[in-house]
Homo-oligomer: A and B are copies of this chain.
Amino acid sequence: MIKVSVLGATGYAGIELVRLLTGHPAVAVTRLVSKSYAGQPLARVYPGFKNVLDITLEPLDVESAAADSDVIFTALPHGASKEIIPLLLGKNARVIDFSGDYRYNSAEVYEKWYGQPHSSPELLKQSVYGLCELHREEIARARLVGNPGCYTTCSILALAPLLAKKMIRADGVIIDAKSGVTGAGRTAALDYSFCECTENTRAYKIAAHRHTSEIEQELSLLAGEEIVLSFTPHLIPLKRGILATCYADLTAPRTAGEVLAVFKEYYKDEYFIRVYDEGDLPETNHVAGSNFVDIGLAVDARLNRVIVVACLDNIIKGAAGQAVQSMNIMFGLPETTGIGNAAFYL
């Protein structure tokens, strides 16, 4: 059994991770750390876990966590991870971090988007961007994985085949993404109150969302040239789900059938990526509750533009599920272990 610790177990990404881990046949949950609720039973904070995982939340003890865990997931509030991770890596534990701090290859790009110097740039050399379908071999060897942001996996996978196969222009890429409210995390802010979110939708951080830099990093690698794109996030009134609508100009006229054939070939060995047939489009409830990324597309023949629609569950494949998938890779398990289930649908 893989001994697992979760630091930041009571935020939304953290508790979703705990939920997945309790259903994972090869995991022994060793320690759940929560600064806010240290000393309390998990079931006092999240009654749904009573009888399933009767464990007491602990305060952070870096020494113990590093010493007796095979893998440590860090799902801490922004800024907290980078203080702790260098310490956690001291022993044998491998670390999968949910923050943005170890997603980058370049400390300069990080600094530009996060507004501060990177606190441990040397770790950036060894950290691996945890998008499993693209960095499988590196993840397998990694001691530190930067688990991707919730919008980024969706956007990157939606466009990867097109850039890898040079079927779209490098300029003119636009990603318009719609996310559920769990993406904001477990928060008491007025903006995320029920009455402010239900029956409402809004765009935010236009041309300013940090995930833009991650998406550009990965797509530039795939394209072999620098990609600069527009990324616009929106909040929609549901809990789980991201739908990204991605626009790009084709380099040559193609039908939707032709483009889909390229996607199906590119992803043919990927369990978690399902490419739809021509005429079909994904909906978030096809993936919510699962680790799948569903992709459909259409071609606007008048403009020779491809419009790709990709959906995933922002707290599973957009966070906790992908983290478990990385763990499975690291420990040589079938990638679907514990996360291969169908969507909730209802």
Contact = CB atoms under 8 A, between A and B. Distances in A.
A206 B48 contact: no
A13 to B, nearest CB: 10
B202 A194 contact: no
Contact of A203 (B197, B200, B243): B243
A263 to B, nearest CB: 14
A245 interface: yes
A327 B192 CA distance: 35
Nearest to A314: B346
Nearest to A302: B228
Give the number of copies in the complex. 4
Of A180, A193, A230, most buried by chain B (CB within 10 Å of CB) is A193
A206 B280 CA distance: 11
A-side interface size class:
35 or more
A52 B342 contact: yes
Contacts of A204: 281
Contacts of A48: 285-287, 290, 292, 342-343, 345
A90 interface: no
A247 B340 contact: no
Interface string A179-202: 011100011111011111111111
Contact of A309 (B197, B203, B229, B307): B203
B181 A344 contact: no
B230 A195 contact: no
A342 B15 CA distance: 11
A226 to B, nearest CB: 11
A230 B307 contact: yes
Interface in A191-223: 192-204, 206-208
Contacts of A284: 199-202
B195 A307 contact: no
A7 interface: no
A238 B239 contact: no
A310 to B, nearest CB: 10
Contacts of A292: 48, 51
A307 B206 CA distance: 8
Given A52-B341, A198-B239, A289-B289, 7 more contacts: A48-B290, A176-B247, A186-B190, A198-B198, A202-B282, A203-B245, A203-B309
